[in-house]
Amino acid sequence: MRKIVRNAAPWAIGLTLACSGGLLAEPLQVRVGYLRLEEPPRAVLSNLDTVPADLGIAGARLGLADNATTGTFMGHDYALEIVSLAPGGDVVAAARDMAGQVDLILADMNAEALLSLADLPDVAGALIFNVSDASERLRDADCRANVLHTATEAAMRSDALMQVLLAKRWTKVALIEGPGGADAALAAAYRASARKFGVRIVSDARWDDTADLRRTASAEVPLLTQGFKDHDVVLVADAADDFARYVEHNTWVPRPVIGVTGLTPVAWAPVVEQWGAAQLQSRFSDLAARDMQPRDYAAWAAMRVIGEAVTRTNAADASALRAYILSDAFELAAFQGRPLSFRHWNGQMRQPIPVVNARAVVGSAPLDGFEHARNPLDSLGLDAPESACTAFGD
Amino acid sequence: MLRTFATALCLLTPPALAGEIWVTNEKDDTISVIDIETLEVTRTIPTGERPRGITFNSDHSLVFICASDSNAVQVMDPDTGEILHDLPSGADPEQFVLAPDDRHLWIANEDDAVTTVVDVETRRVVAQINVGIEPEGMAVSPDGKTVITTSETTNMAHWIDTDSKTIRANTLVDARPRHAEFIKDGTELWVSSEIGGTVSVFSTADQAPVAKIAFAIQGVHEDLIQPVGFEVTPDQKTIFVALGPSNHVAVVNAETYEVEDYLLVGRRVWHMAFSPDHTRLFTTNGVSGDVTVIDVVQGEPIKTIKVGRFPWGAATRP
């Protein structure tokens, strides 16, 4: 029950700093690159939710501003260079240009492009933060030692959703799967998480995308859902957020619709306001004139991870920062009620997952009672024994 | 456990249970006034929006309230509950400290990365000092010469010289520092770090680290042990530390820096205030919306008092 630490960690140096870094001869330069490969426009039914042009980038800018304030007291000078490529752009060429100037890179791109970036000899010594891609392979067999992930993996979110269902005893799920490959991958993640937590998929159906559901949902969705066995919720695997919104309130029996609409697990949402989150939300909306989205949060977190590591180590080179970030000493306060840190087996950032509806947070996973030998946050996503990643050593 | 401490207190005269505890209710825009003798809420007083920090002047004739969402510090007559006037506070005042001269109020402006100094007599802003992101904890040294602002996202204690109103030094602490106090006649500065889960102790003479106190409660994951407010006994030997969502208050020996006990209180415990005779400690429990009364001599909670929604700050009125 008793515990006392007196400067036990090697990092806990008693750093007293003269103001404005007056004692430091030259400010430490911390240069970060943001490399984005834009996605082709999504063809979706609803025109309501547009994708902001500065998605992700605005989050990095806020993280830069947060770091810069701390930097003024530390004698650390932060800079952010942003490169955004049109869909199909040459990531490798852009990365080569960037590599000479920065060795800290926020990568906002799909998994293919990210791997082509990470495997470039020019950036072998760089530290790359994946701020956008959720796919399992990057945390599994296709992990890379020079890539850390502040984007959540899909399984972290599907696990969070299943924890909420289990806590509510809503354990009979009807699953509707969209027609795309990404929908199939999302459905697979839901199925795996359901197995992990003992939630049952009692019925499933495929949605085909030929009709305009904005006009026909009230006719078509009851038919689609009429044959479902007795179920507590309807879970929709709709990766592009295309048709799920038209399923809600159109089902044959009145059931909550969950997944990307209704009740949804996210890295961040406008309804997150506890743990000082309201401050982050207001700083972000002051800067970007819109709500903070999950990709913005991942980019903000990556910048703050860099800032925290630079502050504690007084270093700016990628290898020193990587070692500190992956050490037990690292923790980031990130407005989610628990310190964030990184998994030493695949470089994934641990974070709570808010499970939200449009107006409120319903729960923040890990929920009470979901334990883990290492850290309750590791009840979400790919755990050490499941991951085939070996790039990080043991 | 607390035997030495308890024995010492037992030698004192029996408690004279008079006075009030004033609690700000962040989500009700009210203050709950608790009678220390009856342990009941006797008054509920409306305030500006989102009241958080609360403090009395030295003769307790005025009470100052940070009305965060009203962007004002309100000055209230504690007898009538009437708001006498607002002070200019800068945006989003969260926490403050009144200098020993009763004249200068030092305010942390959470949204603006600024510490604002207000002259409470002329009601004017005297100075604004740029500090780190999300300033919160405020402390003033007993000689009035140094004010501390802690900034939650920058993870620093800023040492501000009160004469020149400039930052003299910055010390890094663990993640998300929330509260600071000078103790032992101002020779030590204690700073709690909510996400870091520690309390750092510095020597004020040279800002050197003296100790770092960590906490461990059986059955509670360390990530949920989040130190926030703390209060010091008059003999400066014992410090009670509120541990947030672990729902416990730690009893820390200020001489050995060891944790001696953990007391169960309400949910997400924030701040605390002693009864005037220091035999009772009142904790604000944000999530459960109540106040736990701790018998300091016995070292145990004795009562829970329902107050408003999200009680935050606490202050004593003799």
Q: Name the residue facing B218 among A1, A12, A74 (closest C-beta).
A: A1
Residues of B in contact with A72 (CB under 8 A): 130
- The pLDDT score that the predictor gives to residue B234 is 95
Q: Could you give the CA distance from residue B266 to residue A343 in angstroms, rounded to a whole number?
A: 33
Q: Name the residue facing B257 among A4, A283, A333 (closest C-beta).
A: A4
Q: Specify whether domain A28-152+269-351 bears CATH 3.40.50.2300.
A: yes
R_g over Cα of chain B: 18
- Would an 8 Å CB–CB cutoff place B220 in contact with chain A? no
Q: Are B57 and B43 in contact (CB under 8 A)?
A: no
Burial class (CB in 10 A: 0-12, 13-18, 19+), A186: buried
Q: Which residues of chain B have pLDDT under 70?
A: 1-17
To test the contact with chain A by mutation, choose from B109, B223, B262 the residue with the greatest count of A C-beta atoms within 10 A, namely B223
**All residues at 6 or more sequence positions from A193 whose CB lies less than 8 Å from its CB, including other chains:** A155, A158, A159, A161, A162, A199
- The pLDDT score that the predictor gives to residue A106 is 98
Q: Are B36 and B294 in contact (CB under 8 A)?
A: no
**Half-sphere CA count of A373, side-chain side, radius 13 A:** 3
The angle at the Cα of A248, spanning A242 to A253, to the nearest 5 degrees, equals 140
Whole domain around residue B254: which residue ranges? 3-13+20-317
Q: Could you give the CA distance from residue A151 to residue A149 in angstroms, rounded to a whole number?
A: 5
Q: Hey, what are B14's tokens?
A: 């029996």
Q: Could you give the CA distance from residue A330 to residue A126 in angstroms, rounded to a whole number?
A: 19
- Would an 8 Å CB–CB cutoff place A359 in contact with chain B? no
Cβ neighbours of A14 (radius 10 Å)? 16
Distance from CA of A5 to the nearest CA of B (A): 6
R_g over Cα of chain A: 22
Domain with residue B225: its CATH number is 2.130.10.10
Written in H, E and C, the secondary structure of A86-113 is CCCCCHHHHHHHHHCCCCEEEEECCHHH
Nearest to B204 by CA among B140, B256, B257: B140
Cβ neighbours of A201 (radius 10 Å)? 16
* Residue whose entry in the numeric block shows the structure tokens 């008059």: B234
CATH topology of domain A156-265: Rossmann fold (3.40.50)
Residues of A in contact with B158 (CB under 8 A): 73
Q: Which pairing describes strands A4-5 and B238-242: parallel, antiparallel, or unpaired? A: unpaired
Q: Name the residue facing B175 among A2, A74, A339 (closest C-beta).
A: A339
To test the contact with chain B by mutation, choose from A13, A279, A284, A335 the residue with the greatest count of B C-beta atoms within 10 A, namely A279
Residues of B in contact with A70 (CB under 8 A): 132-133, 153-156
Residues of A in contact with B153 (CB under 8 A): 66, 70, 333
Where in chain A are all domains bearing CATH 3.40.50.2300? 28-152+269-351, 156-265
Torsions phi, psi for B20 (to 5 deg): -135, 155
Partner-chain contact B209 A73, CB within 8 Å: no
**Half-sphere CA count of A237, side-chain side, radius 13 A:** 27
Q: Could you give the CA distance from residue B217 to residue B251 in angstroms, rounded to a whole number?
A: 12
- Would an 8 Å CB–CB cutoff place B81 in contact with chain A? no
The neighbouring-strand residues paired with B248 are B264
Say which amino acid occupies A23: L
The number of folded domains in chain B is: 1
Q: Could you give the CA distance from residue B264 to residue B299 in angstroms, rounded to a whole number?
A: 10
Distance from CA of B15 to the nearest CA of A (A): 31
**All residues at 6 or more sequence positions from A34 whose CB lies less than 8 Å from its CB, including other chains:** A56, A57, A60, A80, A81, A82, A83, A105, A106, A108, A299
Residues of B in contact with A12 (CB under 8 A): 209, 212
Q: Could you give the CA distance from residue A321 to residue A308 in angstroms, rounded to a whole number?
A: 9
Full pLDDT tens readout for chain A, 394 residues = 333 433 334 343 444 554 444 445 689 999 999 999 999 887 788 888 889 999 999 999 999 999 999 999 999 999 999 999 999 999 999 999 998 899 999 999 999 999 999 999 999 899 999 999 999 999 999 999 999 999 999 999 999 999 999 999 999 999 999 999 999 999 999 999 999 999 999 999 999 877 777 778 888 899 999 999 999 999 999 999 999 999 999 999 999 999 999 999 999 999 999 999 999 999 999 999 999 999 999 999 999 999 999 999 999 999 999 999 999 999 999 999 999 999 999 999 999 999 999 999 999 999 999 999 999 999 999 999 999 999 998 5
Q: Are B191 and B179 in contact (CB under 8 A)?
A: yes
Q: Are B271 and B282 in contact (CB under 8 A)?
A: no
Q: Are B154 and B133 in contact (CB under 8 A)?
A: yes
**All residues at 6 or more sequence positions from B35 whose CB lies less than 8 Å from its CB, including other chains:** B20, B41, B42
- The separation between the first and the last C-alpha atoms of chain B, rounded to the nearest angstrom, is 29
Q: Which long-range contacts (CB under 8 A, 24 or more apart) does A88-97 make?
A: A89/A37, A89/A38, A91/A35, A91/A37, A91/A116, A91/A117, A92/A116, A92/A117, A92/A120, A94/A35, A95/A35, A95/A120, A95/A122, A95/A123, A96/A120, A96/A122
Per DSSP, helices labelled H in B168-273 are none
Give tens-digit pLDDT for B224-242. Answer: 999 999 999 999 999 999 9
Q: Which residue of B has its CA nearest to A66?
A: B133
- Would an 8 Å CB–CB cutoff place B134 in contact with chain A? yes
Nearest to A116 by CA among A153, A148, A142: A142
* Alpha carbon of residue B148 to chain centroid: 13
- Would an 8 Å CB–CB cutoff place B164 in contact with chain A? no
Nearest to A174 by CA among A224, A253, A222, A232: A232
Residues B228-251 as b or e (16 or more Cβ within 10 Å = b): bbbbbbeeebbbbbbbbbbbbbbb
User: Edge to edge, what strands does the sheet with B20-25 contain?
Assistant: B40-46, B30-35, B20-25, B311-317
- Would an 8 Å CB–CB cutoff place B195 in contact with chain A? yes
Nearest to B67 by CA among B101, B119, B28: B28
* Alpha carbon of residue B317 to chain centroid: 15
Q: How far, CA to CA in Å, does A145 sit from each of A120, A124, A299, A347? A: 13, 9, 19, 8
Q: Could you give the CA distance from residue B101 to residue A270 in angstroms, rounded to a whole number?
A: 43
Residues of B in contact with A375 (CB under 8 A): 221, 223
Residues of A in contact with B93 (CB under 8 A): none
The angle at the Cα of A302, spanning A300 to A306, to the nearest 5 degrees, equals 115
